[in-house]
Amino acid sequence: MKWKTIEKRNFSALVEELAKENEVIGPLKEKNTVTSVRITSENEVCLDFWNTKKPPKEVFFPQTETLFTYRTSKNDAEIIESPAIRKKMVLVGVRPCDSRSLVLLDKFLSSGEHKDVYYLEKRKNATIVGLACNHPLSTCFCTSLGGSPSGKEGMDLLLQDINDKYLIQTVTEKGEKLLEKISWLKDAKKADIEKGKKLSSDAEAAVRSKVSLSDVSEKLDKMFDDPFWDQICQKCLGCGVCTFLCPTCCCFDVLEEGEERVRIWDSCQFLCFALQGSGHNPRPSGKERMRQRIMHKFNYFVKNYGKSFCVGCGRCVQECPVNLDIRDVVKTISARKVE
């Protein structure tokens, strides 16, 4: 592991350097929201933010993506595959919770006999430069899910704001290689590293919102028919915001657009999601759909991959129009007596 530092005012020079060989994607402030976009000489990456409105999944799993195009003539058809993406990408300013979400998505989308090539090809070409959180929000609960405000899971490099400069920590060889080319970075001083450590432990302590997940998956095994689902779904509008903005939710629909086969984000919270051609719907009301979302995150995924499918980023808590708080749902499950 190597430690470097960079003066804040030199950060754009670093981005410029990286942009020579990579497409750099980083947070950009637009009015009141921060979104990750392609950084060019026209705009400047902003590392002073809580978190991006949309999670980084959209870089690898865009909201709309062409799978292939085709041409048809009277008695023939031809498929034109989208060219493989060769361009290397560097994602700058990825928060630890979001970086962890990519690790979970990797697990899911590379599992089984058939892999999701569209996601994996882009992922393979990407380097993740994370950014530790010094000031977690009241909606952050990453530590309950095995994460931390200075967690490095899924990252190649980790940046930390230590007032006048960023402390840079190498996490993987890939990250180290990226830095090798930038000769003017300074080695971190002992004091810088100590300062970083202090900020990390302060931040860890500042994540006050905690839920206990120890027995949640087990309890959910016995709660499929629990009347509790009828209650919690009452105020949900079924808008799907919680799933669209969730860094791990990756359900999609496939449809035709002109002469293209396209996939788009979809949500288990929508009525039509599981509706069958016969008219039969296994999840006819909000109750079944809410249950699906919670079960998938805290029981089904745990069974298949040994981890919860949530990283505690708090987006669904912040953005839900009716304040349906997933932490409260988990707490209620945890407190529930089941035989």
Which residues contact other proteins by CB under 8 A? Answer: 67-68, 70, 72, 75-79, 81, 108-109, 111-118, 120-121, 224, 250-256, 259, 261, 263, 266, 268, 273-278, 280, 282-283, 288, 292, 295-296, 299-301, 303-304
Partner from ligand SF4, ligand FAD, other proteins, none contacting 326, C-beta within 5 to 8 A by type: ligand SF4
CB of 277 to ligand FAD, least distance (A): 3
Task: Judge whether 160 and 139 are in contact, CB under 8 Å.
Answer: no
**C-alpha–C-alpha distance, residues 331 and 232, integer Å:** 12
Partner from ligand SF4, ligand FAD, other proteins, none contacting 224, C-beta within 5 to 8 A by type: other proteins
Contacts of 305 (CB under 8 A, 6+ apart): 104, 107, 108, 111
**C-alpha–C-alpha distance, residues 82 and 332, integer Å:** 46
Q: Which is nearer to ligand FAD, 191 or 272 (CB)?
A: 272
Among 240, 291, 301, 302, binds ligand SF4 (CB under 6 A): 240
Partner from other proteins, ligand FAD, ligand SF4, none contacting 210, C-beta within 5 to 8 A by type: none
* Paired residues of 7 in beta bridges: 165
Q: Which is nearer to ligand SF4, 34 or 310 (CB)?
A: 310
User: What is the phi/psi pair of residue 271, to 5°?
Assistant: -55, -40
Cα 122–chain centre separation = 15
Task: Judge whether 154 and 103 are in contact, CB under 8 Å.
Answer: yes
Q: Does 279 bind ligand FAD (CB under 6 A)?
A: yes
Among 242, 268, 294, 302, binds ligand SF4 (CB under 6 A): 242
In our burial notation (b when 16+ CB lie closer than 10 A, e otherwise), range 50-63 reads ebbbbbbbbbbbee
Helix (H) / strand (E) element for 174: namely helix 173-180
Q: Which is nearer to other proteins, 124 or 181 (CB)?
A: 124
Write the interaction track for ligand SF4 spanning residues 104-123; mark x where CB under 6 A is met and - where it is not: --------------------
Partner from ligand SF4, ligand FAD, other proteins, none contacting 288, C-beta within 5 to 8 A by type: other proteins
Contacts of 250 (CB under 8 A, 6+ apart): 57, 61, 105, 108, 109
Q: What is the DSSP letter of 300?
A: I
Classified as helix, coil or strand, 118 is helix
Question: How many binding residues for ligand FAD (CB under 6 A)?
Answer: 4
Q: Does 271 bind ligand SF4 (CB under 6 A)?
A: no
Among 275, 288, 307, 327, binds ligand FAD (CB under 6 A): 275
* Paired residues of 92 in beta bridges: 129
Contact residues for ligand SF4, defined by CB under 6 A: 236-242, 246-248, 269, 297, 310-316, 320-322, 324, 326
